[in-house]
Amino acid sequence: MTKTLVYLEKATVRGGIEIFAERHVARLRAAGREVEVAGSLPDDAAGFLAQFDEIVVHKCTDLRTLEKFPPERTTLYVHDHDPICPRSYAYTPMGRNCSRAGGLWPCLFCAPLCRNWRPALGRVFSQRRRIAAMSRLKRIVVISKFMQSRLVANGIAAERIAVEPPKIDTGKTAEPVEADVDLLFVGQLIRGKGVQLLLRAMAGMKARRTLDIVGTGNMEPKLKALAAKLGLGDRVRFRGFQANPLDWMRAAKCVVVPSFWQEPYGLVAAEAVALGRKVVAFAVGGLPEACGGKATLIAPGDIAALAQALETAEPQPTSRKEPQP
């Protein structure tokens, strides 16, 4: 039996990467693989890694740890911008998306302006070493052609990179949502997800549509204050973390993905499309790929266009049944 190690650096949130990795582990085990999951390596890393026939790395931001994995047996999944952007987000401190390759220029001037500037600055000087370590690995997998293009721009040969979009599993209804859900946002409440843009778009709409926000994050207090300031208090409901976000999507008339950062893929958009929901999203990063031509895409960051799209979009009728393929 093939013995596989799945490495996922311990994270403080359960986001798309964690969900992807969990589902990957489940598929490997269903295929008869013996799978062990680790979030760190022991002191005797070489001895520990020697017992595995293959190693799959889903997230490893520490370069010294990455270099300990045997290249000939290691597959690296690149889910986000961490390996190629010292700031991790691929947008500047001014909030503009960046498409440059990581390195001394212009990262040397950008990295010191972020909150965790010390490690970011360290990644500026170790960028060439990181790309070299990645290039030695047996296989690199990305979740969109957009991310493949970003790795190529950073010096990794295109033929070494496989594009494997996430497998969408909408499952069955676990806990039906009884609330009347009109517009829906699902995701972390952080700056790049663009909920602040969605709130401003709602304030500029003539139609009094309501919005349910599923998720938590460091922007939540500011977003609640902004909603109150814009007079949206009775139209915006912060639902917090929900264990069944897919069921909220099933209940929604329209799912909004207002990310202004370069989403590597956009799992929420892909799941909403698979559920037959109306989707409105900014055309940025991998979102157009995730939507597969089945969403209303608008120019990134265009609040007026977002408001118009939400106001004129015909909502999909909600249904407990899954759409037929």
CATH topology for 181-312 is Rossmann fold (3.40.50)
Amino acid, res. 45: A
Amino acid, res. 187: G
Q: Which helix (H) or strand (E) holds 196?
A: helix 195-203
Domains 3-163 and 181-312 share a fold: yes
43, 22 contact by CB (below 8 A)? no
The Cβ of residue 166 has, within 10 Å, a number of other Cβ atoms equal to 19
Q: Dihedral angle at the C-alpha atoms of 99, 263, 137, 120, nearest 10 degrees? A: 60
What's the predicted TM-score (pTM) here?
0.89
Instruction: Give whole-number Cα distances, 25 to 59, 77, 292, in Å.
Output: 14, 13, 26
Q: What is the CATH number of domain 3-163?
A: 3.40.50
Q: Which of 263, 278, 289 shows the shortest CA–CA distance to 168?
A: 289
pLDDT tens column, 154-176: 999 999 999 999 888 887 777 78
pLDDT at 13: 61
Structure tokens at 249: 């999507």
State how far the Cα of 304 lies from the Cα of 287, in Å rounded to an integer. Answer: 20
pLDDT tens column, 309-319: 998 866 666 55
Mean pLDDT of 176-182: 87
* Domain map (residue ranges) of the chain: 3-163, 181-312
State how far the Cα of 50 lies from the Cα of 52, in Å rounded to an integer. Answer: 6
